[in-house]
Amino acid sequence: MGLHADPRPIGVFDSGVGGLTVLAELRRRLPAESTIYLGDNARAPYGPRPADEVRAYTLESVAWLLAQDVKLLVLACNTATSQALPLVRQVASVPVLGVVRPGAVAAAASTRAGHVGVIATAGTVASGAYAAAVGEADPTLAVTQLACPELVPMVEAGQLSGPIAEGAVRGYLGQLFAVDGEIDTLLLGCTHYPLLRPLIEQVAGPRVAVVDSAFTTALAAEDLLDALGGRTPHTGPGANRIVTTGDVATFTAVAGTVFGAALPSVERAAVTAD
């Protein structure tokens, strides 16, 4: 079923603030498109949660976004993508994009040594989604994964630099490179992690290319809308709504580091009847 010059917004979902990195790329590439972003901060982080819980929470959030009459749904959460993407595609009446495959393809294209490191949440690592997606892109590549459970709560709290953040990043990357010293491409397998990108690049050093899925996911969204003929007919800038299930002030503080003065007023909404 094709879309035709569709003015409806693109829906973007994340467990918290991380998906704002994907939203920023979408808005950069597709400025005429309207967007609605939903961060389920009240229940973040998703990474340590059991898979059935992640699926249930994701479906509740997706139902809320679908009720806003979106034309395309972007799961801008690696944990939700790795645990719930097939399920979301079953219930959604619109196309659904995840963030795992675009990031994996970019990492496979980037590596020269044939060794890709992936840092992600415990749930994403346990799912094996990135190892499978990188292997699909190029079966000859070695993939070393590491769960980094401290990073998402740190980003959600706005702790993006300083001694604590640096200590956590150094600790995790030290573990990863100790396992495989040949890694020359580091894939940020969680959309929260690009908010720590300057620190991660500094610690990883110039020999290691750092890749995330935000840019490639935005590209995939653009390609999909073009293929379906579903671009907005409007020529001016699109409307952008940002909604959280959690604390508006905390969310706004972190979101401001991504969007600055371009950040719209953050709204609060409940995605459950509780």
Domain spans in the chain, listed from the N-terminal domain onward: 10-99+215-268, 101-212
pLDDT tens figures, 82-134: 999 999 999 999 999 999 999 999 999 999 999 999 999 999 999 999 999 99
Q: What is the mean pLDDT of residues 53-66?
A: 97
Instruction: Give strand pairing partners of 211.
Output: 187
- 188-217 pLDDT, tens digit each: 999 999 999 999 999 999 999 999 999 899
| Given 125, 176, 190, 204, the catalytic residue | 190
Specify burial of residue 33 (Cβ count, 10 A radius: 0-12, 13-18, 19+): buried
pLDDT for position 235:
87
Pick the catalytic residue from 62, 77, 186, 220.
77
Element containing residue 272 per DSSP (H, E): none
- Alpha-carbon Rg of the chain, whole angstroms? 18
Quick check: do 10-99+215-268 and 101-212 share a fold?
Answer: yes
CB 148 within 8 A of CB 185: no
Q: What is the pLDDT of residue 39?
A: 97
Nearest CA to 165 among 192, 144, 189?
Answer: 192
* 148 noted as active-site residue: no
Label residue 236 by pLDDT band (50, 70, 90). Answer: very high
Active site residue 77: yes
Architecture of domain 10-99+215-268: 3-Layer(aba) Sandwich (3.40)
Which CATH number is correct for 101-212, 3.40.50.1860, 3.30.70.1450, 3.40.50.2000, 3.40.50.720? 3.40.50.1860
pLDDT band at 272 (very low <50, low <70, confident <90, very high): confident
CB atoms within 10 A of CB 93: 8
Q: What is the pLDDT of residue 114?
A: 98
